[in-house]
Structure 1
């Protein structure tokens, strides 16, 4: 059971706030009865009408995509570049990405049509840990990465402390592989953090989101999340606020 205004908004009729106004104005019927108070909950079997027009209650869907490089984290692009939803052609729900990955960044991206789920995972006070692996220019050391564990100022704002690890160093090519775990989601954050400590990113991949991984997937593959995985993500997001 879900609140009536949320169901109306999810159906694409209007925003949740406007849906509340519609209810108070007597413009909504549930099973033939006009509803004028907020707080009413409805289920899948209920017939809902707004201005005498029935609405379609779309099922929620939750998906994990292994986003390839060179793909836009959006549902459309005015330059006709590939977008993430191009890789889920059989999904009928009107899904959209939860947060984003840069055009040239690959890895784990979530997609859904559940706005509340998306908001909980991306809100600054709720965010879940995400693990990135980066190939950087330079010979990385723990000492170089240490400032990131305390937080550094980027564009006038200090980042939250990150977990860092040097995976490997290649003196021959002058490059290193490093791992960062962060829970924020600012634009180009990982790239900007590593650039700030003198390690420009050459290649970047998100390998983990909460407890979710890319195991068994190749770039362009996707799978649907099960109920346990969805609940786990929501629990992690909720625990962040405590």
Structure 2
């Protein structure tokens, strides 16, 4: 598609509609070129190509999305985790959903668990102004120092789950913090898994899979 005219121009002429409506159709995944959906308004198409709108096509603006990922341990946090082949649920994936997507809950490479990306300014504001509590399960080795649990409980809630597992509940979980806090009380972190952010549990989301936040879910 290196020659020809821009797809949004062809759609505007063929439907017919305004150029902005044509772009909305394309970004919304409603336009096919010779039977293949194309989501780039600037794609070049020849005059002999067949342009069609899919059933149910709408030029309504695309609502911002929030995406929840179960990050495996040892994997860097990036939008590359959002592979369409790894999606859970039935909401239509659009390339536009990756546009201006921001990470709002960082997680260090060695840890696993919930990671959140969003386009929604309301979610961004929530995390920036009143970050939700995070629940993190931490596997540790070593012997905790005397008074170590009380020390860990300064500014967060920490409790033993069993002899080698701690539960952290905190609004402050910057990468590296839990490792440092545990090291200060004689413990070595073996693994971390974030299982909840605010009111959102990881639930049954499998490792390396992702899904869209539903309209009824809140942090």
> Which residue matches 1:71?
75
Correspondence 1:216 to 2:182: no
Q: Distance in 1 between matches of 2:145 and 2:172?
A: 23
What root-mean-square deviation, in Å, do the aligned CA atoms of Structure 1 and Structure 2 show?
2.6
Query: Residues 149-207 of structure 1, C-alpha deviation per residue, up to 9 Å, x if partnerless?
Result: 22xxxxxxxxxx110111111xxxxxx11111110143312222212211121111101
Query: Residues 22-64 of structure 1, C-alpha deviation per residue, up to 9 Å, x if partnerless?
Result: xxxxxxxxx9xxxxxxxxxxxx9xxxxxxxxxxx954201121
> Which residue matches 2:171?
183
Q: Distance in 2 between matches of 1:142 and 1:219?
A: 36
Q: Distance in 2 between matches of 1:199 and 1:119?
A: 35
Query: Residues 57-94 of structure 1, C-alpha deviation per residue, up to 9 Å, x if partnerless?
Result: 5420112111111221123xxxxxxx423476745212
Q: Distance in 2 between matches of 1:142 and 1:228?
A: 45
Correspondence 1:129 to 2:133: yes
Q: Is the 8 A contact 1:142 1:165 kept in 2?
A: no
Query: Residues 108-167 of structure 1, C-alpha deviation per residue, up to 9 Å, x if partnerless?
Result: 11111124422421x2x51110000111111458942211222xxxxxxxxxx1101111
Gaps of 5+ in 1: 1-30, 32-43, 45-55, 76-82, 151-160, 170-175, 234-242
Q: 1:85 aligns with which of 67, 82, 91?
A: 82
Q: Distance in 2 between matches of 1:145 and 1:196?
A: 11
Helix, strand or coil at the partner of 1:227? coil
Correspondence 1:206 to 2:200: no
Gaps of 5+ in 2: 1-17, 19-23, 25-59, 88-92
**Which of the pair has more CA radius of gyration?**
2
Helix, strand or coil at the partner of 2:167? strand
Q: Distance in 2 between matches of 1:142 and 1:91?
A: 54
Helix, strand or coil at the partner of 1:193? helix
What is the deviation of 1:97? 2.2
Alignment length (residue pairs): 153
Q: Distance in 2 between matches of 1:58 and 1:135?
A: 42
For residues 227 and 200 of structure 1, do their structure 2 counterparts lie closer, same or farther at Cα, with a shift above 3 Å needed?
A: same
Q: 2:126 aligns with which of 120, 132, 149?
A: 120
Q: Distance in 2 between matches of 1:139 and 1:167?
A: 15
Q: TM-score, normalization: structure 2? A: 0.61
